[in-house]
């Protein structure tokens, strides 16, 4: 009830929620009370959580931030949703996001932009904009987001939260609306690292319904938070510390490095030589996969259907023209072009090869170090409207997060100070594949 009141008190200004489900939440809370009384609780029993609107929820509208799914009520729960319910978590609602998770600011949502609680004129970052803004506004206790190119870590950084993108395959994607299937992963956005560890433990693990999920035991992530970083070898990729890094971000990172040194961590300069190609590579692969994944929104099986079409083809065209926003259309056109005959080898295949080189850069660096310490985003949160007419500028805001997705490994964003203007700044710790315990420990 307190949390529902908090949503009521804050969300007209923050717009973190697309849908709030008070009746379901109160029923789940009462069930949690009974479970606690019976002594059958888990760390999440009775904890109010909210979900990015990309997670399919049985009986609860799931829009993915798009008009095309504006009235979609799914008939099933995705795996992570089912796991949270089984753990006794109380789902309070569905969170705002960029349409189909395409964006870095939340501004492409069909349900209006989300405002950053630290400064309402700024974006909270994106695409998991509501997931981070709700944590910052204290209108959710813990949330889940997805990260295809930085969409958990960048908003977590801009809102002063902890956000973890797990290794590809660590968490099931069954019932998570697909954007770019080879890059998408589910992860928590939370107030602190302990909450992050508990949330990850609750949702991770193999799922027979997602053939890309990996059959490895789920460690006790909370037990990894020993407070010890002595002897930990942290790499500083020289390509991430160039001229042009925002002075506030640089200052925060320098201070964090000194703190780690004081705690006994060692620093090594490393090189990720293909960094400059990451954004271009990502925008070929992500758009190609998106153009294929989004072909299913045809107005036939589910989602928006246009009225008054002359024939079937006209119905497809009108439904998609009316249902998708400008950024989604831009991505579908780029992806379709990159996959078309005659261009496939020059763009898509080339991008796949460069992706392998980027992956190898990371694997070489991990021969020398346990984790990498880098910025999350080149600047603190920017103003709403500032980059909206310049998609390339927007795409560059993910320059430090995108390489992790291409490599398929894990990374966490953790608060590391404030800018002179009073906006939070995060730092990123990038781990080896399935090295979540190490980055959680260092972040803690």
- Which of these segments, 19-27, 144-152, 204-212, 305-313, binds ligand GLN (CB under 6 A)? 144-152
Which member of 52, 67, 94, 387 is catalytic? Answer: 52
State yes or no: residue 103 binds ligand GLN (CB under 6 A).
yes
User: 295: number of CA atoms within 13 Å, CB side?
Assistant: 8
Distance (Å, whole) CA 18 – CA 29: 21
In the complex with ligand GLN, the residue whose CB is nearer, 141 or 148, is 148
Residue 305 and residue 3: Cα distance in Å, rounded? 36
Closest approach, Cβ 155 to ligand GLN, in A, equals: 10
Orientation of helix 193-203 relative to helix 436-443, angle to 10°: 160
- If you write DSSP's letter for every residue of 137-188 in order, what string do you get? TTS-SEEEEEESSSTTHHHHHHHT-EEEEPPTTSB--TTB--SSTTT-EEEE
Binders in 122-141 for ligand GLN, by CB under 6 A: 127
Question: Residues 44, 102, 197, 373: which binds ligand GLN (CB under 6 A)?
Answer: 102
Catalytic residue check, 52: yes
Indicate the helix (H) or strand (E) that contains 69: none
How far apart are alpha carbons 365 and 376 in whole angstroms?
Answer: 18
Applying CB under 6 A, among 7, 51, 101, 110 the residue interacting with ligand GLN is 101
Tell me the H-state helices in 294-420.
312-323, 326-339, 350-368, 391-396, 402-407
Rounded to the nearest whole angstrom, what is the least distance from the CB of residue 178 to ligand GLN in the complex? 11
Asked about 67 being catalytic, the answer comes back as: no
Contact window for ligand GLN (CB under 6 A) among 102-110, 234-242, 259-267, 333-341: 102-110
Alpha helices (runs of H) in 294-325, residue ranges in sequence order: 312-323
Give 20 or 68: the residue with its C-beta nearer to ligand GLN. Answer: 68
Helix/strand/coil for 426: strand
Residue from 127, 172, 291, 397 carrying the catalytic annotation: 127
Binding mask 161-200 for ligand GLN (x = CB under 6 A): ------------------x---------------------
The answer to whether residue 151 forms part of the interface with ligand GLN (CB under 6 A) is: yes
* Binding residue count for ligand GLN, defined by CB under 6 A: 13
| Minimum distance, C-beta of residue 153 to ligand GLN, in the bound complex (Å) | 9
Contact 89, 45 (CB under 8 A): yes
Q: How far is the CB of 99 from ligand GLN (least distance, A)?
A: 10
211 included as an active-site residue: no
β-pairing, 185-190 vs 162-165, is antiparallel
User: By CB under 6 A, is residue 281 in contact with ligand GLN?
Assistant: no
Residue among 67, 18, 113, 146 nearest 325 (CA): 67
Task: Considering the candidates 66, 104, 109, 151, report the single residue annotated as catalytic.
Answer: 151
- Which residues does the annotation mark as catalytic? 52, 127, 151
Q: Which residues bind ligand GLN (CB under 6 A)?
A: 101-104, 127, 147-151, 179, 286, 398
């Amino acid at each position: 009830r307190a949390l529902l009141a908090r949503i009521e008190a804050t969300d007209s200004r923050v717009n973190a929620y697309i849908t709030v489900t008070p009746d379901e939440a109160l029923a789940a809370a009462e069930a949690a009370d009974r479970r606690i009384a019976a002594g059958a609780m888990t760390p999440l029993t009775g904890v109010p959580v909210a979900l990015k609107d990309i997670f399919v929820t049985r009986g609860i509208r799931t829009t993915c931030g798009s008009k095309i799914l504006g009235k979609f009520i799914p008939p099933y729960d995705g795996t992570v949703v089912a796991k949270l319910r089984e753990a006794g978590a109380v789902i309070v609602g569905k969170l705002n996001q960029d349409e189909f998770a395409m964006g870095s600011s939340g501004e492409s949502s069909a349900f209006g932009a989300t405002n950053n609680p630290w400064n309402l004129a700024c974006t909270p970052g994106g695409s998991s904009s509501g997931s981070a803004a709700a944590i910052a506004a204290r209108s959710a206790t813990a949330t889940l987001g997805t990260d295809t190119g930085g969409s958990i870590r960048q908003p977590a950084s801009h809102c002063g939260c902890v956000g973890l993108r797990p290794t590809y395959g660590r968490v099931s994607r069954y019932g998570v609306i697909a954007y770019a299937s080879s890059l998408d992963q589910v992860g928590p956005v939370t107030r602190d690292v302990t909450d992050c560890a508990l949330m990850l433990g609750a949702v991770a693990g193999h799922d027979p319904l997602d053939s890309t999920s990996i059959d490895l035991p789920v460690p006790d992530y909370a037990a990894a938070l020993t407070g010890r970083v002595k002897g930990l070898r942290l790499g500083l990729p020289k390509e991430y510390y160039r001229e042009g890094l925002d002075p506030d971000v640089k200052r925060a990172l320098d201070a964090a490095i000194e703190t780690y040194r004081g705690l006994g961590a060692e620093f090594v300069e490393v090189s990720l030589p293909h960094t400059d190609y990451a954004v271009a590579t990502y925008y070929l692969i992500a758009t190609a996969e998106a153009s294929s994944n989004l072909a299913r929104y045809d107005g036939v099986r589910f989602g928006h259907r246009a009225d008054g079409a002359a024939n079937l083809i006209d119905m497809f065209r009108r439904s998609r023209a009316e249902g998708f926003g400008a950024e989604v259309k831009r991505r579908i056109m780029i992806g379709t072009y990159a996959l078309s005959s005659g261009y496939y080898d020059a763009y898509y295949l080339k991008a796949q090869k460069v992706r392998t080189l980027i992956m190898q850069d990371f694997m070489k660096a991990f021969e020398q170090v346990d984790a990498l310490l880098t910025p999350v985003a080149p600047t603190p949160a920017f103003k709403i409207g500032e980059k909206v007419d310049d998609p390339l500028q927007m795409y560059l805001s993910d320059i430090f997060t995108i390489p992790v997705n291409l490599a398929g490994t894990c990374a966490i964003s953790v608060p590391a100070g404030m800018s002179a203007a009073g906006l939070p700044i995060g730092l990123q710790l990038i781990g080896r594949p399935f090295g979540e315990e190490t980055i959680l420990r260092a972040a803690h």
